[in-house]
Structure formats: C-alpha cells, structure tokens
Structure 1
Amino acid sequence: MAQQLCALGGTLERRSVVSVLLFPFHPYSSKPYRLLLFRRSDKVNTYRRKLAPIAGSIELDDKTPLDAAWRELKEETTLGPQQIELWRRGPGFEFTDEKAVSGRDGTSEKIGRIWTVHPFAFRMKNEFVDENNNVDTSVMQLDWEHFNCEWNDVDDILSGKILDECVPRLEITLGQVWIDPESALHTAVEELQLDHVHGARELATMAVKSLISIVANERQASERSTPEDIVRWWESFRLKAFHLAVNARPSMGAAMSSAIVAALRDAKEHINEAEEDVFTKVEESLETTLTKRGEVSKRVSEQFSAFLQQKFQAQPGGKENNKTIRILTLSSSSTIKAAILHALDANSSLMIELRILESRPLCEGASFAKALTEEVGKLETAQAERTTIQDRLQIVLATDASVGLLGRDVDLVIIGADRISEAGDVSNKTGSLPAVLTCKQVTGGSVRVVCISEAEKIAPPGTAAEHPEEDNDQNEVASGWNMQTTPSLWDKMVAVRNIYFEWVPAEYVDYYVCEDGTLSTEDIQTRSKQISELTAEVFSVFRVKDFQ
C-alpha cells in the first residue's frame, strides 16, 4: 500500500501515538456509563472538530508510552497525578488512514498515515467527584487543540451511533480498555482485584483458571467456526488475556503476566494448526499449563533445601552441622511455607527457629503460623515413623515493632516476592524493607537476606519507580484501633495510608533462590529481557482487520 501511494505522488507516514480516555472515579457505578471526550479545534492538522480522546505522538524523550500519556494530559488539560490516576492500559493496535492530514501550509495535500495507537484509561480521583459521580471539569484547562470537552455514553461509541462525530477507530480505542461489566472477564478481573489473601503465585494460577473458564463458556456458545472465525476469536481471547495479565492486579502483574504469556504461547500452536476442535485443544493446553505450575513450586522447595544444606549443614570432611538455623520472615507466603516444610521433611537432622512478624493490618504473619502448624500436623500423620517436624521447627510470633529484638541473632531474613525488577529489587509485603535494614544493623551485617520466589515474578525491564503503589482500604488499618468516634477535624487533617507492597533494593538482597537454583543479578537481567521479548510476541500489536 505504501508503494502504491508513493507512485501516485502521495505519502504514507508511520506515527506512534498515545490515546487517553478519561472516566469518572467509579466508571461502572451508574448507567449510562460515561467517558470524557474533547472537541478538536480548527488549529490542528488532523480530524478538526471531531470528538477525540487526549492524544499525541510519542516523542524521543518519552521513555515509555505511559510517560507520553502523562505528558499529553498535562500539556492539553493541565491534569496530573493530583487529579487523575491510571485505571487501565490497553494493548496497542494499528490502522491506516490514507487521508489523515489536510491543509498543511495552506495546500490541499493529503498525507496518509499508518497509526500505531497505545490506549490508556485514566479516571478522576475521588475528591473531584460528587455523590452522583459527576466530575468537576473546572480543575482542567484546555489548550489550543480543543474547543471544549463533553461527557459521552460509552455504548454510543461502541455501537457506532456517534462515530461520524469522532476521530477514526475510537470504538477500537475504547474497546481495548473497556470491559463489559456483565461479562465473565469483568467478574474474573474483579475477583483478582479484591483478593487480599493470596499471593502473586496463587493469583497467577487463578488468572489461568479464569482463561480456562472463558474458553469453556465460549466453546459452548459457538457454532461450527471457519478458520477466519477462529482467528477473530483468538484476537478477542488475546485481549481478554491481556486484561487479566496487565489490568487485574498491576502490583502482582509480573507473575500474572508471565503465567498468562506462557499459557498463550503454548495454546497459540493450536490456532496455527487450524484444528477442528480448537476450543478443546486450547482448553487442554491451558490445563497442561496449570499442571506445570505445580511442578515449578516443588522445584523451588527443592532448591531452597539444597541452599540450606550448602550454606549451613555441609562441613569439611563430609560432617554435618546440626546447629539450629534462625530465620526471620513476615507476612504469609505459600512459596516460603512450602520451601521450609520441604526442607524439614527432606532432612531429618535440620532444625529451624522461625521468627514471624505479624504483618499489620491483616496479620498475615499470624495466618502463616497457623498454616504452618496445620500443615505439620498433616505431614506427621502421613509419616509417623520419621523424626517429627514439630520437634525441629519452633515458631516465634511477634509484633512488627519487635523486629529489632527478634533480629538480633538471626542467620537469615527470608522474603518472598510479588515482583522482582530487572535490577534485582524485590517488591514484597510492606514491612520487608524495615525488617531487612534492621536485621542488617542489629547483626552487624552478618545476616543474609534470601528472596525465595518463582522466576515468573521477574518483571520486564524497567525501574521499581515505574510501578505505582497499591493503596488499599484505610478501614483495614483503622479497624484495629477500637476508635468508636473520631474528632470533627479528623477527616480534614488525617490521611490514613494502607500500602500493601514496598521495594527492597537489590543491594540488600544476598541470594535469589528460584526453581532453577540460586540466581545472580545478571541472571535476573537476562530473564527480564526474555520475558519482555515473549510478552511482546504474545501481545503483539493488534491490527484493525483482526477486529472486523
């Protein structure tokens, strides 16, 4: 197409842009669902007087498309992090408009463009929304690119009712970030968002199970499909998978994205084969992914057992050191629980004193101690003839504030991971960094910090600062205060924060134990690049023809 246009004297330019949609703080609170669109002025080169999102080219100075989105919002509306927050990301898509630009330099030249669009959905913060979910638009000031802004019905755009008034492909931009609130996908996303009990590994497994349910439901609803139908279904399914991987729980997105990307990579083989019963084959492939995940967890436990043997029990001349290993940890990690119990079960001479911080506000540390004692009971019922684990695992449970006392003579601080950055920084339960720093201080630097994690939690390249804090319901914190009433100025003067995760910089982490052994920071960088490449392959740019 580009060659044909050039032969006719025309030009076809490539342009990568961001497209930013704005929603109320509670996008699904009431019908009709609304979004804010902007009427383009006569001063712009493209799509004059059309309704549009905030949009603009990705510049060389923009490190990521998200950086470009924030910049365009600030330039065109003056809105920033004080007024709005990122709600969802959409996968990029591509389309061609052969008459995109008109009236350049007073001429009638038409310059076609191949647009690569990166959609984002932002929402106004709660303090700028009234009780009826109406947004105070006076907090923004529009630049020369727009006449005004107006609220529009989401369904009017998705149905095509007002598309003649809009910039091209707005319905696709919206479709990339909007999830039907009546859909199974919305239910799955909401379940993951509201789950404050399970860790990243378990949520990733839940996400894959959600994909299996979606395939099963769509198989039952479908009639006999042509190869073209299958391709369209796969693109729709890929979009659903993207939302589960990226938008369901961003703070735990590394594990969820890795699990889903690996699942789709294997399942795609059946799409390419154009088999008759594609739905069944895809479902079976996803089930196989679940089975493999269980095997990975077992391998992590085996590697941790080998780590303890090497660092603490192996002595010159083949002798064993029967010293009790003192370990401090916090929160509740299924990976750490399995690793400790496997190590004790595999080595009848191993003795551990496990010191657990309670982990406010949900006291997951107490839940962790409970789960450990329950699991020990099950193991000893099954293996009564062996040296009992209860005699070799002693648990001390204390408040988070006691870390300076509990950490004075520990050998190891063990942390899990919800995300590991390219540089080796570890995102884990809030309280991890104070525990690590305090134990380093009170032991004179002798303590070793070990991150036990599946390799799937290694994130694609990017800094820790690029990932937003997950601030949760303040009532989880306040419920423990037994404060029957609050002073009249409380809400005005007091802000209660309930941040679930924080970063432990790589400089404080001594070992990373995963299913493949102990990793170096160089190993982590390599794997980070690999997952980035695989993610780009699986969630490659969507083409408009795939939606038609």
Structure 2
Amino acid sequence: MDDNDDNNASPSSTHTRTPLLQPILYNPEFYAHLESCTDTLKNDFKSGAREMAAQALQFLGVSIEMATITARNMDELWVMAVGAGKQLCEARPSMNAATTSCILHSLESIQERWHDMVPKSMDELAQSASARIDEILKERKETDAQLGRSVTFMVKKLLSETDTPTTTRTQPHLQIHILTLSNSSTIRNALLSLLANIPTLHLQLTILESRPRLEGASLAAQLLDNQEVRPRLHVTLAPDCAVGSLMPHMDLVLLGADRIAPSGATSNKIGSLAAAATARLGNPNPVPVAVISDAEKIGTTEPEAWHRERESHPREEVTGAYEQYVQKGVEGCEVFGEWFESVPGWLIKWWVCEKGVWGTKEVKEWAEEVKGLEWRVFGRV
C-alpha cells in the first residue's frame, strides 16, 4: 500500500520515511503520568464534558513532552502521542464524545504542523505540539460566543413565530418562558449571551432542581449572581416531579448534552427524558426541545452501545437527604444510582451548536466526519 493511502500514516510518511525502531523503548515516566491523568478523568464527577475535554487536551500536551525522553524519531513520538490520546479518550466512556472529538482534531492539527517542519529534534516537535495545543485551547474559548449567537438566532426565530411583544408601562419588551435542568456551563453561558444579545428580552426561566445533587439550584444561583442581567432574568426553581404541571406554560425546553449519537439521541442528566417527553407528548401544542451543545459532543456510537458504559453512583447520594430513621428503614431497598439517560432524537427539534442550528441531517454528517477522523488517527493503535 502506498503511504498516501495509509489511513494511519505517521507524520513523517509524506517525507522520506525514517525506519521505525522496534520495540519502542519503555518509558516509565510517560506511562506513570498517563495512568495518573486517566485516573483523574475517570474520577472527575464535577466537570462537564467540555471542561473534561480541555483537561484531557492539556494532559496530552504534557504526555507528548514526556514521550520525548525515549522517542528516537518522529514516528515513535507520533505513535506514543496517538496512544496517549486514545487512552485519555477511553478514561470516562459515558462522557467521552467531547474528549474524543477534541483529541482527534488536535492530533490531526499537530500532525499537519509536523508535516510542514523540516526534520527537527524531539524537543522541537514537542514544543510545536504544545504551542498548537495552547492555540486550540484559546480557540475553544470563542466557541461560547459563537454558540450564544446560534441560540440567539433560534430564539429570535421562535419569537417571530409565536407571541407578539409584551408591553410594560416603561417600554415594550420581548418575553419567553424556558425550562431547563441540571447545571450545564454551556447552557449557562448561552442564556447569558441570549440576554446580552437581545437587550429587550425578559427571560422567564424555570429550572428543575435536578435531584439528587441539586445542580439546578446551583445553576440558578450562578445565573442570579450576574447583576447585569438580573433585572431581566426571572427564575423559578421547581422539583423535578413538577415538570408535567409546568410544561403547558413553557415556550421552549433547553437540554445540555454529555454526548450525542449520529441519530440525534442525546445523553444528559436524568430528568431530561421526562422533560422532553412531556414537552413533545404531554401537551396539545408540543413545546420545542433544543439541545445546546458544542459540536464536539457529537460522537459515533448510538445509545445501544452507551448502555454498556453505565455509571452507578453510591446509594448515599440519594438516601443522604433522608432522616436517619428513614435511612435505616430503607437499608434493604435497592437504590437507583444512574445519573445519565438517553433522550431519543425524535423528541428533539434542534441541536444548537457553535456552527448553527442543526437538524438530524447535520448531526449525522458531523458524526460521519468524526468517524472518518477516528479511523485516520486511531485506526490501528
């Protein structure tokens, strides 16, 4: 097979190929660091998928630097970089779509940069990779603004198709009722951008408290801490079980995402399925459901595969809220401890990302692109 046809070609494959010395020298510092990074990601139950992807990318940069201790040429350094990237992607299967997409696109970009370099030392290659990773991390910060513009476009379109502006005694203003849940930094930033982009908008926001960790209450507190938008932000906190009673008063449901399947099925915090099903099926006039997410959370697997990667959390996360005598009385009960669930794509109207407002067609096309990239980079590692 010609090198240009090799789907897993190393960076040097477009130049005169340096023979790969076998086996690659054992590097205990590299593998110890990689194991520590993997454990950190595996046990991180506070960060969202986007934050976890950024952390994994930083870990990749350090791993490449440590690989230079034993890497004898560009090919060996690439093999170790790809191996590290794949292990980081597999650290937390239930939230790995964003990490995998981020690592894949970063490795591809590093590979392109290495292609353009004349033969350099291992240290210079690692410095080049580190510089590119720093650039990517800075570029990722612009995603919030781009996603905010996409959400603003969606809401403006929705408002133009529904009610006319509400008038107060001081000035006319737009009003929309939105329901959300959990504590997604992506949704939080999108809502703040929405209020900033539409100065006359008054947002009636209902947040389900999101048992058992009550992330919804945390989201409310963080939003209300923003004094600039607080006069136009009206928040109602509600128990999860009230979703059916609340839905007839809503104009829009916003869900976050930990990962999205090619079909559009979306994994998110428990309570998401009930909210989406109630919005679509529990009202004479269905309430549109939109997933707010970075495009990198679109992966290549469907929910059937996700079920093999279920996380089960300690029973105390649920029973800890009970009085002592109740905790003792339910010791013989099994306690449901899964905090993620899948929302079928047919319950969702829009997937809103930094690239625009997408339907199922665009989601599927992006997933196919990621699948191709996964084969080119990880194909035979």
Above 0.5 in TM-score?
A: yes
Please give the secondary structure, in 1, of the residue aligned with 2:73. Answer: helix
Give the counterpart of 1:523 among 343, 346, 362. 362
Supply the AA of the counterpart residue of 1:333.
S
Please give the secondary structure, in 1, of the residue aligned with 2:324. Answer: coil
Q: Cα offset for 1:317?
A: 12
Q: Cα offset for 1:531?
A: 0.3
Please give the secondary structure, in 2, of the residue aligned with 1:198. Answer: coil
With over 3 angstroms needed to count, the CA separation of the structure-2 counterparts of 1:400 and 1:218, relative to structure 1, is same
More helix by share: 2
Supply the AA of the counterpart residue of 2:355.
D
Q: Cα offset for 1:540?
A: 2.1
Give the counterpart of 2:45 among 181, 184, 196. 196
Q: Matched residues in 2 for 1:403 and 1:506: separation?
A: 20
Matched, 1:236 2:70: no
Matched, 1:396 2:245: no
Post-superposition CA distance 1:174-231 (Å, at most 9, x none): x9xxx99971212211221222122111111111111123234455xx38x7xx4332
Contact 2:350–2:359 (Cα < 8 Å) also in 1: yes
Q: Cα offset for 1:442?
A: 4.3
Name the count of aligned residue pairs.
350
Q: Matched residues in 2 for 1:455 and 1:537: separation?
A: 19
Post-superposition CA distance 1:52-75 (Å, at most 9, x none): xxxxxxxxxxxxxxxxxxxxxxxx
In the alignment, what sits opposite 1:451?
A: 291
Q: Which aligned pairs between 1:443-522 and structure 2 lie closer than 5 A?
A: 443-460=283-300, 462-467=301-306, 468-483=309-324, 493-522=332-361
Q: Which aligned pairs between 1:431-450 and structure 2 lie closer than 5 A?
A: 431-450=271-290
In the alignment, what sits opposite 1:269?
A: 112
Matched, 1:421 2:265: no
Contact 2:174–2:200 (Cα < 8 Å) also in 1: no
Contact 1:416–1:452 (Cα < 8 Å) also in 2: yes
More strand by share: 1
Matched, 1:350 2:201: yes
Contact 1:410–1:443 (Cα < 8 Å) also in 2: no
Q: Which aligned pairs between 1:121-140 and structure 2 lie closer than 5 A?
A: none
- Relative to the length of structure 2, the TM-score reads 0.84
Please give the secondary structure, in 2, of the residue aligned with 1:259. Answer: helix
Matched, 1:324 2:175: yes
> Could you say what the CA RMSD is over the residues aligned between the two structures, in angstroms?
3.0
Q: Cα offset for 1:403?
A: 1.3
Post-superposition CA distance 1:307-365 (Å, at most 9, x none): 11122047999999844200000001111111110110111111111100111111110
Supply the AA of the counterpart residue of 1:298.
A
Please give the secondary structure, in 2, of the residue aligned with 1:408. Answer: helix
With over 3 angstroms needed to count, the CA separation of the structure-2 counterparts of 1:486 and 1:316, relative to structure 1, is closer
Q: Matched residues in 2 for 1:441 and 1:229: separation?
A: 59
With over 3 angstroms needed to count, the CA separation of the structure-2 counterparts of 1:370 and 1:271, relative to structure 1, is same
Q: Which aligned pairs between 1:175-214 and structure 2 lie closer than 5 A?
A: 183-214=32-63
Contact 1:180–1:186 (Cα < 8 Å) also in 2: no
Matched, 1:367 2:218: yes
Contact 1:423–1:524 (Cα < 8 Å) also in 2: yes
With over 3 angstroms needed to count, the CA separation of the structure-2 counterparts of 1:429 and 1:180, relative to structure 1, is farther
Q: Matched residues in 2 for 1:331 and 1:487: separation?
A: 29
With over 3 angstroms needed to count, the CA separation of the structure-2 counterparts of 1:494 and 1:421, relative to structure 1, is same
Larger Rg: 1
With over 3 angstroms needed to count, the CA separation of the structure-2 counterparts of 1:234 and 1:181, relative to structure 1, is closer
Q: Matched residues in 2 for 1:207 and 1:519: separation?
A: 27
Q: Cα offset for 1:423?
A: 0.8
Q: Cα offset for 1:239?
A: 0.8
Supply the AA of the counterpart residue of 1:294.
K
Post-superposition CA distance 1:88-121 (Å, at most 9, x none): xxxx9xxxxxxxxxxxxxxxxxxxxxxxxxxxxx
With over 3 angstroms needed to count, the CA separation of the structure-2 counterparts of 1:427 and 1:271, relative to structure 1, is same
Contact 2:166–2:174 (Cα < 8 Å) also in 1: no
With over 3 angstroms needed to count, the CA separation of the structure-2 counterparts of 1:482 and 1:233, relative to structure 1, is farther
